[in-house]
Structure 1
Amino acid sequence: MSIKVITPGMLSTIQDGGRKGFAAMGFNASGVMDVRSYHIANALVGNFTDEAVIEMTYLGGSFKFLESNYIAITGADMSPKLDGVPVEMYKTVFVKQDETLTFSAAESGMRAYIAVRGGIDVPVIMGSRSTNLKCKLGGLDGRPLKAGDIVPCRDVYDEFHKHLIHSAPKEDFGSDEITVRVLLGPQDDYFTDHGIKTFLNSTYTVTNESDRMGCKLSGEKIEYKNTVDIISDGIVFGSIQIPRTGNPIIMLADRQTTGGYAKIATVISVDLPLLAQARPGTKVHFELIDRQKAERLLKQEQKEFHSYLLHY
């Protein structure tokens, strides 16, 4: 089974859960930006939740299915159509051979996901099929999809359609204002009390410079004590660096593995999808919580997801 790329859109790449365990060697994890939408898409087509999918950013592409298969589309609403007929998102959809799936610019959110039954079948490199654009590996030759590409998918022959989760609650990405919960640290001691209050009480705006590497914000400058320069150390998905300009940069999927600016806080796991779907101009507020609550929220989300799978 395979898919032909007719037009790739703004930025379409093959991604999965990420290339974990190689940061010490300088390879960032990459992987999907919106893990929640990714997991739901795979569940809707009966895949394991870590199968590779196509991630599209803001402007979707068009794709011709060279064989029949089941698909699901989640994430940002890019007005999907199958041979010109609107397709419902967050539902299992059967695509016939030679039908073409097209997308437009996102009406809300930033990133959409196409999951196909069996998953995208590109080579596994260092434990992942994800495209790492900086290192030029994974996906299709380590690059974004382009017109004419043939995306291979794994053939699956079973009666899975009898056990499908036929639909899932649609995520709402229409808000132009989000609240992101954070844990302070690991270098919050580099900032004055006034700087931390500024960080927690100000409204920031997502800038046009944001990408898969980081979400750059503009707003009130955050005051630091002497310097924000540190000996470079590790960076995780959600680390909030404060460079000398005083404006936060939230590190995302394609982040570098280390950084030399102090990190005032870290976004909790369950709120990372909010940043993945935040468009330029989105207003961002930060809310401080403790680690115990962050862990409870993550466990609750995981429990709800697994309960949903069992219920349906």
Structure 2
Amino acid sequence: MSITVLKAGLQTTLQGAPFAGHRHLGMPAAGAADCLSLALANFLVGKSCNKLAIEITLTDALFQMDEPCSISVVGAAEYVRINGRDRPQHQSLKVIAGDQLDIGPSRPGCRTYLSVSANIHADQLLDGQSTCLAAGLGGFHGRALRKDDILAFTPDSLVAAVERTTPEGLRLHYSDDRVLRVIRGPEAVDARARLLDDLCRTQYVVGARANRMGLALEGAPLSARDSSNMSSAAVFPGTIQLPPSGQPYLLGADAQTTGGYPRIAQVIKADRHLIGQLGAGARIQFVETTTDRATEIYQEKLSLLKSWLGQIKLW
């Protein structure tokens, strides 16, 4: 059972659950940049929310289905077409051998997830299979897909044939304008305490340096005194650092494990999947919240999703 890549697009990779428990080894989390879109796509074909799927970034991609299976598409794609015919997102779709699946470019947003009702063959690493591009590990030989690559699958006897459609109230809204809630970072205290206030007063635009590792933000520069004089410390996806330029840098799914710039804020876990849909030109407004409220928001979001997806975790 397989899929042939006819057009790979800008950056198409195999992504599922992040690598957990290995940051002390310098291993980034990796995994789906938008874990909620991944979960919705997987659920539509009867799979666990964190199973491996195909993550398509920005541009269109084209695949040929070599065996019959069920598929689903969730994300920022402008269109989904099977043999030239428009088909819906957020719905279980049947395909047969020879069908061509065309996933359109992201407008607006940044990423789209293609899930199939079978287990994708991928390299195993540290108990995970997601692609870590920076290290060249996991996924499909540790790299992005290319034209003529063949993805092999094994049908999962535990996956029952399902026909599902995501409820309207749980469908994500893709936009180039985002509000991200943040809590105060470890270095936004004492002499730097005003940095978070200034961050939240400014609307930022994602610059040209935007990838899975992080996003360079453009806006009114913040005061960056002593920003290069601190010892390296732990950073995570969603950490906002302040380089000497005064322009914040928002870390993404493939973020390094340590950094030497002040950590002025951290995007809350409930909003972190939205980072995966931010491309160059997207506009961001940060809003401060408390750690207690961040925990409440996360639990409220999980409770809402549980009605459809069952037990789920966001990362």
TM-score, normalized by length of structure 1?
0.94
Give the 3-state SS of the residue equivalent to 2:76 in structure 1.
strand
* 1:205-244 matches, cutoff 5 A: 205-244=205-244
In the TM superposition, what whole-angstrom CA distance separates every residue of 1:135-171 from its partner, at most 9, and x where no partner exists? 1110111010011111122212467225x43334332
In the TM superposition, what whole-angstrom CA distance separates every residue of 1:207-246 from its partner, at most 9, and x where no partner exists? 1111110011001111145444321111111000000001
- Shift of residue 120, structure 1, vs aligned partner: 1.8
Q: Is the counterpart of residue 94 in structure 1 residue 113 in structure 2?
A: no
* 1:262-281 matches, cutoff 5 A: 262-281=262-281
Paired letter, 1:14: L
Give the 3-state SS of the residue equivalent to 1:229 in structure 2.
coil
Cα gap change, 1:47/1:287 in structure 2, threshold over 3 Å: closer, same or farther? same
Give the 3-state SS of the residue equivalent to 1:67 in structure 2.
coil
CA distance in 1, matches of 2:45, 2:240: 35
Root mean square deviation, CA, Å: 1.7
Aligned to 1:292: 292
Aligned to 1:13: 13
- Shift of residue 196, structure 1, vs aligned partner: 3.1
CA distance in 2, matches of 1:223, 1:82: 52
Aligned to 1:181: 181
In the TM superposition, what whole-angstrom CA distance separates every residue of 1:91-139 from its partner, at most 9, and x where no partner exists? 1111111101012322221100001113322132111111111111101
Q: Is the counterpart of residue 41 in structure 1 residue 41 in structure 2?
A: yes
Give the 3-state SS of the residue equivalent to 2:119 in structure 1.
coil
CA distance in 1, matches of 2:159, 2:104: 33
In the TM superposition, what whole-angstrom CA distance separates every residue of 1:30-87 from its partner, at most 9, and x where no partner exists? 1110011011111111001111000010002111111010111001123111110111
Q: Is the counterpart of residue 31 in structure 1 residue 31 in structure 2?
A: yes
Give the 3-state SS of the residue equivalent to 2:47 in structure 1.
coil
Aligned to 2:134: 134
Paired letter, 2:292: Q
CA contact (8 A) 2:15 2:129 kept: yes
Cα gap change, 1:190/1:31 in structure 2, threshold over 3 Å: closer, same or farther? farther
CA contact (8 A) 1:191 1:223 kept: no
In the TM superposition, what whole-angstrom CA distance separates every residue of 1:236-273 from its partner, at most 9, and x where no partner exists? 11000000001111100111111111100100112122
Paired letter, 2:60: G
Aligned to 2:313: none
Q: Where does structure 1 lack aligned partners over 5 or more consecutive residues? A: none
- Shift of residue 302, structure 1, vs aligned partner: 1.2
- Shift of residue 309, structure 1, vs aligned partner: 3.5
Return 301-310 or 68-77, whichever deviates more: 301-310
Aligned to 1:65: 65
Stretches of 4+ moved more than 6 A in 1?
Answer: none
CA distance in 1, matches of 2:230, 2:119: 42
CA distance in 2, matches of 1:167, 1:223: 45
Paired letter, 1:105: P
CA distance in 2, matches of 1:308, 1:104: 27
CA distance in 1, matches of 2:89, 2:135: 33
CA distance in 1, matches of 2:119, 2:60: 19
Q: When the two structures are aligned, how many residues end up with a matched partner?
A: 308
Cα gap change, 1:57/1:190 in structure 2, threshold over 3 Å: closer, same or farther? farther
CA contact (8 A) 1:40 1:168 kept: no
Give the 3-state SS of the residue equivalent to 1:284 in structure 2.
strand
Cα gap change, 1:192/1:166 in structure 2, threshold over 3 Å: closer, same or farther? closer
CA distance in 1, matches of 2:58, 2:239: 24
Cα gap change, 1:119/1:108 in structure 2, threshold over 3 Å: closer, same or farther? farther
CA contact (8 A) 2:227 2:242 kept: no
Give the 3-state SS of the residue equivalent to 2:5 in structure 1.
strand
CA distance in 2, matches of 1:187, 1:74: 37
Cα gap change, 1:43/1:245 in structure 2, threshold over 3 Å: closer, same or farther? same
- Shift of residue 283, structure 1, vs aligned partner: 1.6
Q: Where does structure 2 lack aligned partners over 5 or more consecutive residues? A: 311-315
CA distance in 2, matches of 1:200, 1:166: 37
Aligned to 1:122: 122
Cα gap change, 1:39/1:159 in structure 2, threshold over 3 Å: closer, same or farther? closer
In the TM superposition, what whole-angstrom CA distance separates every residue of 1:162-187 from its partner, at most 9, and x where no partner exists? 5x43334332213x321110000111
Aligned to 1:78: 78
Aligned to 2:165: 166
